[in-house]
């Protein structure tokens, strides 16, 4: 209690002294120092830019800046020398949906991980004490990338009070609940801490303190700018303030309400200390309206213009004029720096050579910002790290300092899916990093459904240097036999596969390799007939080589990019031959897809699927089965075909040509026309002259939701001339 009283007394005395100094300086006729305070408010903070534009037009000098959350970001950039117009351009050029997530371009994701990138709805870290809810939804990798690129000229300047305009920002110590004034250190980390909204962004550790959004304790830091020496304070407030209970409808509302209530008392005190108080009329906007930046900037400018007479009177009274030079040397992607050495901090389990290989940067060389950030994105896309940041320190010859936070927490992931073929299913996945060998991953999949599956994969990737993979796959599925378009039989197909391969990866998007499998198949009829053997069981040993490429910018509804998977396989049942023949059977498979964007909304997506078999006595489990919309890799014997039921036509060879015509009606809503034509034949030597042509078409309406595509498809083929419906909900897995 004594400590609290003492702290309050000291604060009161300091404010009285500041007020006295202010009066003394004004009496002496010295130019008063102008302090600018920018409140937090999420996206509503863009209104600060509009106010700054008006202050610049008036040539109003700003001597000190203090800010919280979004106010700290706008304030810091202005304090470093960015003009209001330059900040506006920076804000309007961002893809905020991507920026406020940890998503990076798929081109930086390893080709083996791309198939797993869009499978899970929920992901939790696994600690030694069990599964835990993460400290925040977003780590903030993309935000850090943005800050570091645009503050390069200040990486060496660790005292924020020595910026062209002295600057401080506010964060909250999550352990003590105290407001923390950040005025030194790494400016990118300070801004990241000040804006870390609890539960949305993970907190940031600085000097041993775990920091989050300063708005929880001081969202309008007027006192701080007075302590810095401001005689006159211009305060810009973009807070909505506490809402009535009838207005609290969402999680966002509750979080904002909590922050407003916590900082309400402090705000009311700070509000009274402002000499000029500017509050833009942005009540109808939310803290998440990042896509409405232009409107918010306009409203800030409008409100400041309404007070232009008051501001002009202040300028005229004290003969104010702007003395600082708002001229920050803008850094572009092509800006180059001479890198003398690379210093890496934070590595414990991941090998330094692995990280340097991902960065792919040569020292004693000129390197562009684009090359540095591409290297960081490749390293982040490896899944070895939760966060990667950089600084360029030194004079003409820079030291590139890379700070990493290793992803030591393992993950528990959940996926959910429904479609008319596989019915409802849930995917439970556990992924362990750096088990047995550093840089490796162990992934365990359990699919719970009418057709259950278990997969265990252990993988070590070394880039160009060969890596390896071991895989166990267990599957139990119901498959059907068709004749003349009618279902005539049902079978239970079980298989066990043990797979090992060696592979190399090029530029994250290309992989080649070879390997071998031991495969056990058991096929039994769904009808039980007494005294009749209903089960066939076969062992096979197969050898294969593959090439895998994927440069699509996204897995679902891509607008650009190319993907290809090709495989050649030799089938034996004793390691060298098949069923007593001197030669094994062969299978060749190719899938190729290319997205071609014709306009912002229209994309043409041609696809080709081909599978051919040659050899004698081909087992039925290796025949080619054409039909279905499945995008899974459960059966490498299936060739999709729109208009046919799943695995409806059995043959040795199948070729399917398909073109999806994809039109985005409005954001994340698609209408896709899917015409295809295919040929199924039983003799590889007559594939182009004989066999059966099949035609089909489908029309899909889809909403690409947060949990995956929600699709309804109507399809038709010339096999039956019957319209069939198909429903798919969620990510395929």
> Catalytic residues, which ones?
69, 213
Q: What is the DSSP letter of 184?
A: B
CA distances from 662 to 511, 639, 657, 668, 711 (A): 28, 21, 16, 12, 13
Q: How far is CA 426 from CA 66, 415, 416, 422, in A?
A: 49, 6, 5, 11
Q: How far apart are CA 288 and CA 280, in angstroms?
A: 17
Q: How far apart are CA 401 and CA 395, in angstroms?
A: 14
Let me know: does 214 contact 69? Beta carbons within 8 Å: yes
Q: Judge contact between 378 and 434, C-beta under 8 A.
A: no
**In a 3-state reduction of DSSP, which class is residue 571?**
strand
Taken in order 42, 44, 46, 52, is the CA torsion positive or negative?
negative
Q: Where are the alpha helices (DSSP H) in 291-447?
A: 293-306, 308-318, 352-359, 369-381
Q: CA-CA distance, 731 to 705, in Å (whole number)?
A: 10
**Measured between alpha carbons, how far is residue 295 from residues 133, 285, 300 in Å?**
36, 10, 9
Give CA–CA dist 262/599, Å, rounded. Answer: 48
Q: How far apart are CA 491 and CA 527, in angstroms?
A: 8
Measure the CA–CA gap between 641 and 658, rounded to whole angstroms: 8
List C-alpha distances in Å: 688 to 568, 681, 692: 20, 9, 10
The greatest distance separating any two alpha carbons of the chain, rounded to the nearest whole angstrom, comes to 113
Its sign, for the CA torsion 248, 252, 257, 258, is: positive
Q: What span, in angstroms and rounded, lies between the C-alpha atoms of 190 and 445? A: 40
CA separation for the pair 32, 528 (Å, rounded): 96
CA angle (244, 170, 208) in 5-degree steps: 120
Using alpha carbons only, give the angle 646, 648, 654 rounded to the nearest 5 degrees. Answer: 100
Q: How far apart are CA 557 and CA 561, in angstroms?
A: 11
**181, 194 Cβ separation under 8 angstroms:** no
Q: How far apart are CA 189 and CA 194, in angstroms?
A: 9
Question: What are the angstrom distances between the C-alpha of 114 and each of 111, 283, 411?
Answer: 5, 41, 17
Question: Looking at residue 313, what DSSP letter applies?
Answer: H
Give residues with Cβ within 8 angstroms of 245, minimum separation 6: none
- Angstrom distances, CA of residue 296 to CA of 15, 51, 153, 350, 456: 34, 10, 29, 44, 50
- With CA atoms as reference, report the closest residue to 611 among 569, 648, 653: 653
- Alpha-carbon dihedral angle through residues 97, 98, 101, 107, given to the nearest 10 degrees: 160
Is residue 529 classed exposed, middle or buried when 0-12, 13-18 and 19+ CB atoms within 10 A define those classes? Answer: exposed
For 413, phi then psi, to 5°, come to -120, 150
List of residues 6+ apart from 733 with CB closer than 8 A:
119, 415, 417, 425, 427, 445, 447, 632
């Amino acid at each position: 209690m004594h400590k609290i009283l003492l702290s309050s007394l000291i604060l009161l005395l300091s404010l009285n002294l500041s007020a006295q100094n202010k009066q003394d300086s004004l009496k002496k006729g010295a130019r008063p120092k102008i302090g600018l305070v920018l409140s937090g408010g999420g996206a509503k903070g863009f209104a600060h830019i509009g106010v700054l534009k008006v202050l610049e037009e008036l040539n109003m000098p700003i001597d000190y800046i203090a800010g919280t959350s979004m106010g700290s970001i706008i304030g810091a950039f202005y304090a470093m020398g960015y003009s209001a117009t330059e900040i506006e351009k920076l804000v309007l050029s961002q893809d905020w949906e991507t920026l406020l997530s940890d998503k990076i371009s798929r081109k930086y994701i390893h080709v083996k991980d791309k198939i797993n990138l869009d499978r899970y709805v929920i992901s939790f870290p696994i600690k030694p004490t069990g599964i835990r809810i993460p400290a925040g939804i977003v780590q903030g990798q993309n935000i850090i990338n943005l800050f570091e690129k645009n503050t390069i000229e200040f990486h060496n300047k660790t005292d924020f009070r020595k910026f062209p305009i002295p600057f401080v920002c506010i964060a909250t110590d999550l352990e003590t609940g105290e407001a923390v004034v950040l005025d030194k250190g790494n400016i990118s980390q300070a801004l990241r801490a000040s804006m870390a909204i609890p539960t949305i962004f993970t907190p940031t550790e600085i000097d041993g303190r775990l920091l989050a959004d300063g708005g929880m304790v001081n969202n309008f830091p007027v006192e701080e700018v007075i302590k810095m020496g401001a005689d006159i304070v211009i305060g810009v407030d973009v807070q909505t303030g506490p809402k009535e209970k009838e207005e609290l409808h969402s999680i966002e509302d509750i979080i904002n309400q909590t922050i407003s209530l916590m900082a309400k008392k402090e705000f009311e005190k700070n509000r009274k200390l402002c000499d000029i108080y500017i509050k833009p009329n942005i009540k109808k906007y939310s803290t998440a309206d990042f896509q409405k930046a232009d409107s918010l900037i306009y409203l800030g400018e409008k409100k400041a213009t309404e007070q232009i007479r008051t501001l002009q009177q202040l300028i005229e009274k004290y003969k104010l004029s702007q003395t600082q030079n708002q001229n920050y040397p803008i850094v572009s992607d092509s800006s180059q720096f001479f890198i003398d050495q690379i210093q890496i901090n934070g590595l414990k389990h991941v090998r330094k050579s692995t990280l340097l290989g991902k960065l792919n940067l040569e020292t004693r060389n000129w390197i562009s910002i684009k090359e540095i950030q591409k290297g960081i994105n490749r390293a982040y896309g490896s899944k070895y790290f939760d966060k990667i940041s950089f600084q360029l320190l030194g004079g003409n010859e820079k030291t590139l300092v890379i700070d990493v936070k290793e992803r030591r927490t393992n993950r528990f992931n959940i996926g959910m899916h429904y479609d008319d073929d596989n019915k409802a299913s849930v995917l439970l996945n556990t992924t362990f990093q750096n088990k047995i060998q550093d840089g490796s991953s162990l992934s365990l999949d359990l699919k719970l459904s009418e057709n259950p599956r278990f997969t265990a994969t252990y993988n070590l990737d070394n880039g160009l240097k060969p890596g390896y993979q071991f895989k166990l796959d267990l599957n139990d599925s119901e498959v059907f036999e068709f004749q003349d378009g009618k279902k005539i039989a049902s079978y239970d197909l079980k298989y066990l596969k043990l797979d090992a391969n060696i592979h190399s990866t090029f530029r994250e998007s290309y992989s080649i390799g070879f390997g071998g499998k031991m495969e056990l198949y058991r096929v039994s009829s769904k009808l039980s007939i007494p005294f009749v053997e209903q089960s066939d069981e076969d062992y096979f040993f197969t050898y294969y080589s593959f090439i895998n490429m994927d440069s699509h910018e996204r897995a679902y509804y891509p607008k650009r990019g190319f993907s290809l998977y090709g495989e050649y396989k030799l089938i034996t049942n004793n390691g060298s031959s098949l069923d007593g023949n001197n030669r094994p059977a062969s299978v060749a498979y190719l899938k190729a897809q290319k997205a071609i964007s014709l306009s912002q909304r229209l994309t043409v997506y041609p696809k080709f699927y081909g599978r051919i078999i040659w050899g004698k006595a081909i087992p039925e489990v290796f025949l080619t089965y054409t039909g279905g919309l499945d995008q899974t890799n459960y059966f490498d014997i299936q060739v999709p075909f729109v208009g046919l039921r799943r695995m409806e036509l059995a043959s040795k060879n199948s070729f399917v040509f398909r073109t999806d015509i994809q039109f985005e009606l409005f954001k994340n809503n698609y209408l896709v026309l899917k015409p295809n034509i295919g040929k199924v034949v039983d003799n590889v030597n007559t594939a182009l002259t004989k066999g059966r042509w099949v035609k089909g078409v489908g029309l899909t309406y889809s909403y690409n939701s947060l949990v995956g595509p929600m699709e309804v498809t109507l399809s038709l083929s010339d096999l039956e001339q019957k319209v069939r419906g198909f429903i798919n909900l969620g990510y395929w897995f």
